[in-house]
Amino acid sequence: MTVPKEMPEKWVQAGAPPSWSRKKPSWGTEEERRARANDREYNEKFQYASNCIKTSKYNILTFLPVNLFEQFQEVANTYFLFLLILQLIPQISSLSWFTTIVPLVLVLTITAVKDATDDYFRHKSDNQVNNRQSQVLINGILQQEQWMNVCVGDIIKLENNQFVAADLLLLSSSEPHGLCYIETAELDGETNMKVRQAIPVTSELGDISKLAKFDGEVICEPPNNKLDKFSGTLYWKENKFPLSNQNMLLRGCVLRNTEWCFGLVIFAGPDTKLMQNSGRTKFKRTSIDRLMNTLVLWIFGFLVCMGVILAIGNAIWEHEVGTRFQVYLPWDEAVDSAFFSGFLSFWSYIIILNTVVPISLYVSVEIIRLGHSYFINWDKKMFCMKKRTPAEARTTTLNEELGQVEYIFSDKTGTLTQNIMVFNKCSINGRSYGDAFDVLGHKAELGERPEPIDFSFNPLADKKFLFWDLSLLESVKMGNPHTHEFFRLLSLCHTVMSEEKNEGELYYKAQSPDEGALVTAARNFGFVFRSRTPKTITVHELGIAITYQLLAILDFNNIRKRMSVIVRNPEGKIRLYCKGADTILLDRLHHSNQELLNTTTDHLNEYAGEGLRTLVLAYKDLDEEYYEEWAERRLQATLAQDSREDRLASVYEEVERDMMLLGATAIEDKLQQGVPETIALLTLANIKIWVLTGDKQETAVNIGYSCKMLTDDMTEVFTVTGHTVLEVREELKKAREKMMDSSRTVGNGFTYQETLSSSKLASVLEAVAGEYALVINGHSLAHALEADMELEFLETACACKAVICCRVTPLQKAQVVELVKKYKKAVTLAIGDGANDVSMIKTAHIGVGISGQEGIQAVLASDYSFSQFKFLQRLLLVHGRWSYLRMCKFLCYFFYKNFAFTMVHFWFGFFCGFSAQTVYDQYFITLYNIVYTSLPVLAMGVFDQDVPEQRSMEYPKLYEPGQLNLLFNKREFFICIAQGIYTSVLMFFIPYGVFAEATRDDGTQLADYQSFAVTVATSLVIVVSMQIGLDTGYWTAINHFFIWGSLAVYFAILFAMHSKGLFDMFPNQFRFVGNAQNTLAEPTVWLTILLTTVVCILPVVAFRFLKLNLRPDLSDTVRYTQLVRKKQKAQHRCMRRVGRTGSRRSGYAFSHQEGFGELIMSGKNMRLSSLALSSFTTRSSSSWIESLRRKKSDSASSPGGGVDKPLKG
């Protein structure tokens, strides 16, 4: 994004635009945008982008070359193209070219078809948008034009419910004062209406003849992606008029409740803010992807080593033996020495052995990931009936990463809470309202509350609004001036839009749920906001309509954290009303408010302690003279071309001082359903949850307790509130010292030294005893994130079970996530629902968006989305764990079967004079990975599961192997490779040994090349099919069909290729008629195949049997528990059939272990089955996971993680 060029304040002529020409540097960035109305010739000089948008990548001519170029950017595709070129060289190729080109073309075709389909839909969407019709004023006449033909400087007419074609400056509308209403759902997801207003000088240009003569020129900022900001100036009739975002209609908006409006095109097509915001999201890769890239390089190195060994063998063999047979086995013409023969042999073996890295691996991985994504999309248990919103996997590349998450960073409002605001309590002039009392005057609890207040006296009241404290209504009816002023402020100080479909039926459209709740409260208590114009607000105060003149709106932003309006009442009195955060507003009160301030502060603390969101209300009377002077300074600030926002903020700051305190509001934001249970379950899965919120500390802490993130059983909750670097460092140091002291008291024997290196300190903090939590404020976090203190903060935070960061900005959210990503070898997940969470969502390894009350910007930026926080447990513990398990099992088996297949060629090389002769038939080599073994492993990768979904949720400790990366790592890879090499040795040498001495029934020699090839190939297909049968943990009809079907297809193709029919059609290709039938008709061959299969599979079965009995995994224990339960249920049913007729009474209705009652009362919500499981789990199975976890954290150069609770055994 380019930064707008700063414009000088003084012009040569007061009302004329600067005379210099627009500069456009050679690299294409703009310094400023100039657009003159109704003058295409002038505007064309600047070569602005047209309004035609293009999101597609290809056309008919460029598709093939561009798509192939993109596909060959992948190293694997380039590698196989290189192999194909080698195979076309007859001197080094011992395989036909089709063994490589068939799978390569298949992969390229599948990818090209997918890309072409995606691009077709992009073309279709582009054409649909570009061909929309719009009314453009050309030569004084309104003409229908396609959107793509609209140019900068054109004047467009929009009608109700039409989309805005480009970024327009609103000139005039059918509404009074040039007002119009828009819906911005396509920009920010918010469906409530927003108001835009034309500047007064153009609002009168409603007539086409006047618009045709309009020749104003706009000079403004260059194209950028800031949706909420616009800075420019209109020059017309020797005057200049400031322009802001309130005067703009952005492309993607829809005109609502406005009959028509006219606008001047400022930005078109790719320059519009909508298109500027549609930049590509950063591509995310999983840890398995990164590991696979490393492993493929290792395999390639191994391939080169094998090629070198066999090439050296060939050179030695040709020198020692081959030279003696030149008469009947001469060298090729190009070969003149044994060394050169070895060189050619090297490339020949590179071709033959290339199947250790098959191209089908990458295609299979993408198919499996796509299947996992569909499972998430189709999961009915993650479908929200209330909102009719399903879960959505918006990416297919991160599914297995969901099974490895260690840190979750969550927003609070709208993510943990519902973001449905309810006016709960308030403090007015030092008195608190909102508590309900019973008939005896005692405070009533939630379940004992009496009937809510009856607002039937107010015909305009919202029937959904509930309030229990009758004294507040009595105060209003008695005419208490403070109460009246309190609700008058709530009815005036806002940006809510009112819509009245029928008489008395008011509908409020608020930009935030908080604001809607406050205006609704004022409405029910008799101060009804009825309507507004750009200059007035009409309120019905206790049935009397009063219209206030709206002089100024001092709007809210994240820096000011407050909003003010200046109004003049019918008596002519000017008053400023202000509402905002207590941290900001309390410092701007008049000194005479001290006593009231103390009382209100106590009420604020009480409200925050109950988890309520608070605002402070204040007002200030302004005299006419002061207001006129201030309004002039405000006008000058709005006209300033440089630092306009800073100047406005300074002017606003000046008037918002010495205000009089009115009181405070408290709004309840209720927890979402299932949040405490979800957090408890994820904590048991050793996932650390950090809450990053913009709310005040007391509110966030209270929500923390409600969510069970913070509990009374915690050893200590540390609070960091320092305002300076030294204070923050000291507080963090004290927290670490307390944790170390606690560890020494329980006998861990650590001695704390501040001079410890970060890695040692981290490992020491990892072992601290007790449970701790850390709460840190935004101003303290700003210091903690500085380069010289970030490690101290991270070490302290990671040693705590829960972390809550309060009053944080969107940037700080992203910085915290980046800090953990930078120093911890852990997968991070960020979840939020608002635009302020987008940076955090994009920064984390995995971003999850909640489709809530704050629009869909978080969803659009996310990798996964759903409607409720509770679905996160299912996304991680079920889909994530299964995806990780399936991908790991798939990769292990894939590398195993390909090494078992390929290494046979290596052993054969030592018995064929290193001549690069293949063991298998070339058709078998071509079909092995794409037909014979592809579908069974795909079925396992898509459908397999170790335990059912209920058990995955019931035993969250099952999630830990993914966090520790136990199922596929370098060690597991080498085990797979070793098993594959072991299988290849037996696969080659057992048939070789048997065939050396075996004879047929007629006494002739059994051994020949083709019979040996058929025997080895058949053994291989049967062994790998048996192996995948052992690896499959969850059998479906599809698994059975693919495994046994692949075997049947192998034999069908084998017999077909050796049939007389194919020989008659292709005598040069299928020369060995009847070989398969003759070979497999020999009992010796089948005994050889059986022996090979048993010797290959038996050690695997024995090892798994011993492991299951001596050192079972947690998943093994869960499966065993499940089997025991099934048997017990069956026995119980049998016993019930027998029954007994005696008394069924007993002294105690059920038996259980002591201590469960205390556990339930503690509120930790740990599931009974998780505890019951611990009695089945051996201590060894717990300790080895813990030792691996400690080893992982100790070996990492980064600071260690938090305290981990061992799996109890």
pTM of the predicted model, to two decimals? 0.72
Choose among 102, 353, 108: nearest CA to 898.
353
Q: For residues 774-791, give the mean pLDDT.
A: 89
Highest mean pLDDT (candidates 48-62, 301-315, 548-562)? 301-315
Res. 752: pLDDT tops 60? no
Q: For residues 308-337, give the mean pLDDT.
A: 81
Highest mean pLDDT (candidates 322-331, 696-705, 870-879)? 870-879
* β-sheet bridge partners, residue 498: 508
pLDDT number for residue 188: 57
Greater model confidence, 762 or 476: 476
* Residue 64 in tokens: 């093939």
pLDDT number for residue 874: 94
Rounded Cα–Cα distance for residues 519 and 527 (Å): 9
pLDDT tens digits for range 924-965: 888 898 889 989 999 999 999 988 898 889 899 999 999 998
pLDDT number for residue 1047: 94
* β-sheet bridge partners, residue 234: 218, 241
Where does the pLDDT of residue 748 fall: very low under 50, low under 70, confident under 90, or very high at 90 and above? very low
State what percent of residues in the chain have pLDDT above 90: 36
Q: Tell me if 593 sits within 8 A of 661, measured CB to CB.
A: yes
Rounded Cα–Cα distance for residues 317 and 322 (Å): 6
- Residue 271 annotated among the catalytic residues of the structure: no
- Which of 904-918, 1094-1108, 1112-1126 is least confident? 1112-1126
Res. 156: pLDDT tops 90? yes
pLDDT number for residue 72: 81
Res. 803: pLDDT tops 90? yes
388: left (phi over 0), alpha (psi -120 to 50) or beta: left
pLDDT tens digits for range 415-424: 887 767 889 8
Greater model confidence, 1175 or 911: 911
Choose among 36, 54, 55, 56: nearest CA to 46.
36
Q: For residues 956-983, give the mean pLDDT.
A: 92
Res. 393: pLDDT tops 70? yes
B/e letters for 1017-1047, b = 16+ CB within 10 Å, e = fewer, are: bbbbbbbbbbbbbebbbeeeebbeebbeebb
pLDDT number for residue 777: 86
Rounded Cα–Cα distance for residues 840 and 805 (Å): 13
pLDDT number for residue 263: 94
Rounded Cα–Cα distance for residues 784 and 596 (Å): 35
Greater model confidence, 31 or 599: 599
pLDDT number for residue 448: 52
Res. 675: pLDDT tops 80? yes
Rounded Cα–Cα distance for residues 90 and 44 (Å): 61
Where does the pLDDT of residue 357 fall: very low under 50, low under 70, confident under 90, or very high at 90 and above? confident
pLDDT number for residue 1138: 47
pLDDT number for residue 1153: 32
Q: For residues 1011-1039, give the mean pLDDT.
A: 93
Where does the pLDDT of residue 771 fall: very low under 50, low under 70, confident under 90, or very high at 90 and above? confident
Greater model confidence, 358 or 678: 678
Q: For residues 865-892, give the mean pLDDT.
A: 93
- Mean pLDDT, the chain, integer: 81
Res. 87: pLDDT tops 50? yes
pLDDT number for residue 290: 83
Where does the pLDDT of residue 1171 fall: very low under 50, low under 70, confident under 90, or very high at 90 and above? very low
pLDDT tens digits for range 285-312: 788 888 887 888 888 889 999 999 999 9
- Which of 235-249, 764-778, 985-999, 1064-1078 is least confident? 764-778
pLDDT number for residue 1136: 52
Residue 26: other Cβ atoms inside 10 A: 5
- Which of 50-64, 763-777, 1105-1119 is least confident? 763-777
Res. 757: pLDDT tops 50? no
The 8-class DSSP code of residue 876 comes to I
pLDDT number for residue 1186: 53
pLDDT number for residue 190: 56
Where does the pLDDT of residue 619 fall: very low under 50, low under 70, confident under 90, or very high at 90 and above? very high
pLDDT number for residue 452: 83
pLDDT number for residue 1142: 36
User: What Rg, from alpha-carbon coordinates, does the chain have?
Assistant: 38
Where does the pLDDT of residue 779 fall: very low under 50, low under 70, confident under 90, or very high at 90 and above? confident
Where does the pLDDT of residue 466 fall: very low under 50, low under 70, confident under 90, or very high at 90 and above? confident
* β-sheet bridge partners, residue 425: 666
Res. 1072: pLDDT tops 90? no
pLDDT tens digits for range 558-568: 677 889 999 99
pLDDT number for residue 440: 52
Q: Tell me if 851 sits within 8 A of 859, measured CB to CB.
A: yes
pLDDT number for residue 37: 93
Where does the pLDDT of residue 1164 fall: very low under 50, low under 70, confident under 90, or very high at 90 and above? very low
pLDDT number for residue 706: 79
Res. 249: pLDDT tops 90? yes
* Residue 939 in tokens: 């079925």
Greater model confidence, 648 or 1150: 648
Active-site entry in 154, 167, 188, 411: 411
pLDDT tens digits for range 441-458: 556 554 455 678 888 888
Where does the pLDDT of residue 1027 fall: very low under 50, low under 70, confident under 90, or very high at 90 and above? very high
HEC states along 904-925?
Answer: HHHHHHCCCCCCCCCCCCHHHH
Report in angstroms the alpha-carbon separations of 744 from 165, 749, 764, 774: 69, 5, 11, 21
Greater model confidence, 1040 or 762: 1040
Residue keyed to tokens 């447990």: 873
Residue 760: other Cβ atoms inside 10 A: 13
Where does the pLDDT of residue 1156 fall: very low under 50, low under 70, confident under 90, or very high at 90 and above? very low
Where does the pLDDT of residue 97 fall: very low under 50, low under 70, confident under 90, or very high at 90 and above? low
Rounded Cα–Cα distance for residues 928 and 363 (Å): 15
